[in-house]
Amino acid sequence: RLTGSPWRDDESSTGVTLCIAHCSSVQCITTGGHKVYEKVGNVLKLARKEAIASGIFFGTTGWSGNVTLLALLAYGGTLVSRGTISVGDLTSLLLYTVYVGSGLQMLTVFFSSIMRGIGAGVRIFELLDRTPAIPPDVGADVDSSRRGPIRFERISFEYPSRKGVQILKDLDFEVAIGESVAIVGQSGSGKSSINALLMRYYDPVRGKITFDGQDIREFKPSSWRHIIGVVPQDPVLFTGTIASNIAYGNEDATREQIEAAAREANCEFVWGMPQGFDTEIGRLSLSGGQRQRLAIARALLKKPAILALDEATSSLDATSEHRVNDAIDKILRSRQTTCIIVAHRLSTIARAERIVVLEDGHITESGTYRQLVNKKDSRFRTLMAAQLNAAAGESLIYKPPEPSLKAGREREEDL
């Protein structure tokens, strides 16, 4: 209780923090931010309680201090008038009492500040003391120049927070060096979970993932993650310059390397900015497509052995999607990097050399774009029916990317 403050009320303070962080969503969903007022109201109630409690405490101590002084003055005055003590004695006594009293009062203020500090510290230390299920610095280092196939061997997986719900069941597939594989499936089929396992945010319940024949659990997670470039659906930017955002995680990168990665990722918009790579940006100060391309540049700067694209084009408009797909194409064409692409958009999926269909936690279909599209009653066709029909209708308008791969050539004939 002593270490508490209104901000120790986790539910309310987390609610307020979330509401402020996502204020635009809150405003459009609740048309007036009622939730924010509700949460702020809760915090305000607690703050009022705290203010009343400290008001009573400081009021009482201040009042009793003053009453003590007056009593001393009255009693001391009578002693002086009787000649028992001198005026000097009384003055010294009063001064000492004032010093000791104000010292004690400062001690109580200091004490309450310390208690608040301890309260805040406890939360931080609770977090720091948590033992990660996957220690980030235990295991063998992975040489950043190492290349090899990735194998998902009979993987079964369930989230620790949802025991008993199997997300992946006996998942078995391989991605060769430099190959690009698109994972397709219905929403919630477990596509992103495959990436989460690859990144070792979680370990499978059964089975193993191997890289170059070695179980990835033998690698030090921080070192393993260093050879993987990730482009998520909603990339996070940090407050700082564009250059520092691209170089995030690669602090030793030179300006030339940063610019080369930006060029490869089609970040031409950076050169159009008044301060170029030194332009200061915030969390959301670029468009979705620009953020996506910046994330691709960030991933490319690592020269990753594996590139995991997780719905990188799902939320983009046609122009941004085209620019991002073009950047992805350049990577696929170089064949230096093994690519695992989780995507919903046909235009992105069709760029991969091989497509695997994920259903009910395992792979139900695998093949090139052409094989799956031409296969009668294929699951891929059912899943992509709407987009395939739209693509068929627009086949005269839709221009597929430069076919650098065999699969690309096949796909071009089909679209």
Ligand X SMILES: Nc1ncnc2c1ncn2[C@@H]1O[C@H](COP(=O)(O)OP(=O)(O)OP(=O)(O)O)[C@@H](O)[C@H]1O
CB atoms within 10 A of CB 253: 18
Q: Is 132 exposed, middle or buried (0-12, 13-18, 19+ CB in 10 A)?
A: exposed
| Site of tokens 């901000």 | 7
Q: Are 354 and 367 in contact (CB under 8 A)?
A: yes
Q: Counting contacts by CB under 6 A, is residue 266 touching ligand X?
A: no
Task: Kindly tell me which of 188 and 274 has the beta carbon lying closer to ligand X.
Answer: 188
Q: Counting contacts by CB under 6 A, is residue 162 touching ligand X?
A: yes
What is the nearest approach in angstroms of ligand X to the Cβ of residue 387? 14
What is the nearest approach in angstroms of ligand X to the Cβ of residue 188? 4
Task: Kindly tell me which of 192 and 244 has the beta carbon lying closer to ligand X.
Answer: 192
Stretch that binds ligand X, among 7-15, 77-85, 160-168, 292-300 (CB under 6 A): 160-168
Counting Cα atoms < 13 Å in the Cβ hemisphere of 132 gives 12
Task: Kindly tell me which of 130 and 162 has the beta carbon lying closer to ligand X.
Answer: 162
Tokens standing for residue 112: 């309450």
Tokens standing for residue 60: 């009482």
Q: Counting contacts by CB under 6 A, is residue 361 touching ligand X?
A: no
Out of 81, 145, 161, 254, name the contact with ligand X by CB under 6 A: 161
User: How far is 167 from 361, CA to CA, in rounded Å?
Assistant: 6
Q: Counting contacts by CB under 6 A, is residue 292 touching ligand X?
A: no
What is the nearest approach in angstroms of ligand X to the Cβ of residue 58? 47
User: Scanning residues 181 to 220, which ones bind ligand X (CB under 6 A)?
Assistant: 185, 187-193
Tokens standing for residue 408: 């690309």
CA 220, 293, 223 angle in degrees (round to 5)? Answer: 5
Task: Kindly tell me which of 288 and 408 has the beta carbon lying closer to ligand X.
Answer: 288
Q: Counting contacts by CB under 6 A, is residue 254 touching ligand X?
A: no
User: How far is 379 from 189, CA to CA, in rounded Å?
Assistant: 14
Out of 125, 159, 238, 271, name the contact with ligand X by CB under 6 A: 159
What is the nearest approach in angstroms of ligand X to the Cβ of residue 196? 7
Task: Kindly tell me which of 42 and 192 has the beta carbon lying closer to ligand X.
Answer: 192
What string of DSSP letters covers 189-210? Answer: SSHHHHHHHHTTSS--SEEEEE
Binding site for ligand X (CB under 6 A): 159, 161-162, 167, 185, 187-193
